[in-house]
Structures are given as C-alpha cells and as structure tokens.
Structure 1
C-alpha cells in the first residue's frame, strides 16, 4: 500500500538524510547539542529511515518490525532525546518526504475514492508511524524510569556496620512513602544481620524534613527500638531543628545530635567504648 513512499525514500535517502539532519539541528535542545555529534545524528537518522522503509515495503513482519522499533526507541531514550524533539523530527521527515514527492510530481490529483488518494494515504502512513514511535518511546521511557527508580531505592538506604554492634544508615535525597518502606525494610533486616545495638540514622543529606518525613523517620526509629536496638537521629541542621519545633514534632524518645561525629561518640559511649589517641 505504501510501496511508492518506500521507493521514494530509498532512492532519495542521501538527500533526505542531509536535509533532515539539517532541520533537526535547527530545533535541537542545547543539552542534546552538547553530547550529540554529527556522526551520531547521521547514524540515528539512517537507522530510522531504514526502519521506515522496512515497514513501508513490507519486507518484515509485524513482530520483527516491533522488535526493531523497541530497540530504536530504547536507543533514543538512552541518548536523552526528549519526546518533543522526537515528534518534531518525525514531522520534519514526513514534510521533507511530502515536498520531495510533490516536487518530482509523484503526487497526483485527488482520486474519487479517498483510500486511493495519495494525500489520504500519506496522512494515514504518517499517523501510523507517529503513533507507533511515540508509543514505543513512552513504553521504553517508563521501563527505564522504573528500573532507575528501583536501582536507586536499592542503593539509597544501606545500613552500614561501622563498629561492632554500631551501624549507620545515611539518608540522601527526598523521602517519599515508597522510599520510607525501603528504609524500614533495610533497617530491620540490617539490625538483625549485623546484630546492631545502636543504629545512627543520618539525615545530613535530606534536604527537607516536613511532617510526613518526620513521621516516617519516627516510625523507622520505633521499629529499630522494637527489635532491641537503640536508634539515634544525627545530622540535624539548624534549619531542620527549627522546622521540627515549628511543626510540633515530638522527638523526645530519640537521641539526637547535629553531626555524625557526635552521634558516633554517643554510640560508643552507649556500648561502653571510646576512641583513644595512641601515644608514641
């Protein structure tokens, strides 16, 4: 049905490629320009053209085409090309193809039957390709974000044994409900695994402590207490202390310090130890 489009694209690939890269570079994001070389543009656009041609002339079945389309979508997601840049690129390529075919009189007068009309077929082809690529891009993006979120959660709440029976959990970044659950699980598993008598929850790297965050931290500390360990909250900066007071959050059941160093000194004292300077 679209073999004439495929033939035109294949026969004029070099010309279309050059014009398309030129148009893409006019609309590119500065972030893309900083990492995308001319070779990368050419390779990616050539791959896209080959993908279109294989779809248009029917040389591949649907499963093969869908597989290649997913691979292509994953590639452009990993390259960091935003969706608005992709959609603009598809539109530019379609416009270049349309102008080229009209210039070579490959578009004829309108037919009585809409399905035979070149304009109708062109719009139908463009809509089909556009929808498939945007859908594949969205699916790949969601999958990538989900994998990154999972990896971040796995790495963002480690319980680190520092001394015998003393462990530290450094928290960095925003704490939401999902991450709070991960923190709780890591704490409970780690306390038992490392036989921690004292656990220091370090919030130095947490930018905002509001009612919800404080609630999650108190819950985590209470869970640590229930499994027989002493929780400590360290890294309380002046602005966070003021926020906690203004919110009326009760931390009386928690040992608190403003630095990890002071917290470690308290933890050693609680386990009947201290750091002494070696003489000589």
Structure 2
C-alpha cells in the first residue's frame, strides 16, 4: 500500500492545529494524576506534536522499522510520570477525535472502511509506543533499584578509622549480602579500625537478621577491625532475649552516641569538654 492510499496523512497535515487543540483539552480533562498542575500547557502541546510527527513519519515511510522517535517519545512519557492507564486512554482519545473529525458527514460504509484503515495504519504505531513505554519503564525501575541498593547500606566515615553503617527498613537475604560487601570494602577503603552498625531504623530484628549481623561482625573481625552494634531499642532488646538470640560475641550499645564514645576509646581517643 502506497502513501496515496493512506486516508490519514493529508487530513492530519491539513487539520493539525485543531486536532492537537482538541486532544490537548481531552488529555487535561482525563489527567488521572492531576499532572496538569505541575506540567505546563507547552509540555502537553509538545507531546501532542511529537506524536503527530511520529504518525506522519510512519505514514510516509510505511516500510521502515519503528523509528527511534518512538523510543524517545515513550521515554519522555515515562519521565513525565504518566501512567500506562493515562497513556492508553490518551491514545484512545486521540483516535476517537481523529475518527469523529474525519467521519463528520460520512456514511456507515465509509465509517467501517475507516475503521479498517485505523487498524492498518495507526494501531501498529500505538502498539509500538506502548511497547517502548513498557521497555523504558522497566529500564527506569531497574536503574532505580540499583540506586536504592547502593544507598541501602552506606558506610560513612565519621572519624579517622571509625565508620558508621546506618540501616533503615527491613533486612532480607539480598540486602544482607549488600551489607556484607559494603562493610568489607569500606573497612579496607577507609582503613577502619571500628565499624558501627546502627539498627535504629530497623523495625524488626528476628533470628535471620541477627544471624546476618553476627556474620557481618565476624567478617569485619577477620579483616582486622572491630564491630559495634548500636541503636538497640528496648523492644528490640526484649525480642532478642525472647528469641534466645546470642549476641554475646558482638559489642552492643543502645545509641549511636554511646557507640561513637566506645569507638573513640578503642582507638585511644576520647571526647574532652573544653569548658568555658
């Protein structure tokens, strides 16, 4: 099928402004996340124009592979925070607006013919947009997961030879592995003599969590440093006792402040008040 048999190309080019205006108003009305409060009208207009450009390019080059423009367009949609539901609704609205404009004075037979043309010319473009959106979303989530993993067990130097690892949230096997890796790498990198693991932000310390902490403490000892467990709240202490967890081989303190004071003593330093 050649360009001349495409019923949409000339119509979209000739009615572009009206089509975009109607679609933009519909998008704002259907905005399920109220993004219009933080997204300018210019952004909506740009998105509409980019999609129209994709359609025109596809109509004029029907034998080409899906263009990189679709990938860029879909990635921009993800970056704007538009949900899959909002995207599919918006594309459907655009199709309805285009169909209504093109069939204003058409017969039923002409309308049915145009429905077939929609399936042939526009549906594949929409399908590729959704496919690229899903791929871009998966990449974004993957990158976010990696970033969160990097931040989930940071090792922070607070004094010479003293580092702190603040832990927040639940600790599963995958995160425990990350903690162990960061601890060992950090001890060597910062030449730490004492490492404080702060569990103030860990909601539950069960047998598995305690096992991972003991393993981490032993691993730190094997590379020549000492490990302190700090931030043990009363309810956590009670849970540890009730479960019969043995932390006798780990030095424990109830707060980070007490832990730092002990760490300074272990490295032959102390906090001295200068007075007035």
In which range does the TM-score fall when normalised by the shorter chain?
0.7 to 0.9
Deviation at residue 194 of structure 1 after TM alignment: 2.3
- 1:114 corresponding residue in structure 2: none
The structure 1 residue matched to 2:39, chosen from 14, 36, 40, is 36
Structure 2 residue 18 is the aligned partner of structure 1 residue 15: yes
Alpha-carbon distance in structure 1 between the residues aligned to 2:203 and 2:169? 6
Query: Where in structure 2 are the equivalents of 1:76-225 lying within 5 Å?
Result: 76-105=77-106, 108-109=109-110, 117-225=113-221
Unpaired segments ≥5 residues, structure 1: 112-116
Deviation at residue 161 of structure 1 after TM alignment: 2.2
Alpha-carbon distance in structure 1 between the residues aligned to 2:76 and 2:185? 38
Unpaired segments ≥5 residues, structure 2: none
Change (3 A) 1:240 1:50: farther
Deviation digits for residues 145-169 of structure 1, max 9, x if unmatched? 1112222322343322222322111
- 1:235 corresponding residue in structure 2: 231
Alpha-carbon distance in structure 2 between the residues aligned to 1:240 and 1:134? 47
The structure 2 residue matched to 1:254, chosen from 247, 250, 253, is 250
The count of aligned residue pairs is 273
Change (3 A) 1:61 1:126: closer
Deviation at residue 61 of structure 1 after TM alignment: 3.2
Change (3 A) 1:244 1:15: farther
Contact 2:231/2:255 (8 A) holds in 1? yes
TM-score by length of 2: 0.87
Alpha-carbon distance in structure 2 between the residues aligned to 1:246 and 1:31? 49
Alpha-carbon distance in structure 2 between the residues aligned to 1:44 and 1:246? 59
Contact 2:199/2:232 (8 A) holds in 1? yes
Deviation at residue 5 of structure 1 after TM alignment: 1.4
- 2:29 corresponding residue in structure 1: 26
Deviation at residue 59 of structure 1 after TM alignment: 7.5
Deviation digits for residues 105-156 of structure 1, max 9, x if unmatched? 3984488xxxxx4322312434312321111011101111111222232234
Change (3 A) 1:81 1:243: farther
Change (3 A) 1:16 1:38: same
Which moves more between the two structures, 81-90 or 129-138?
129-138
Alpha-carbon distance in structure 2 between the residues aligned to 1:200 and 1:45? 54
Structure 2 residue 9 is the aligned partner of structure 1 residue 6: yes
Deviation digits for residues 231-259 of structure 1, max 9, x if unmatched? 11112233433444454433222222221
CA RMSD of aligned residues (A): 2.5
2:7 alignment partner, SS class: helix
Change (3 A) 1:140 1:273: same
Deviation digits for residues 178-221 of structure 1, max 9, x if unmatched? 33222211110111222222110112233444444444333322
TM-score by length of 1: 0.86
Contact 1:201/1:232 (8 A) holds in 2? yes
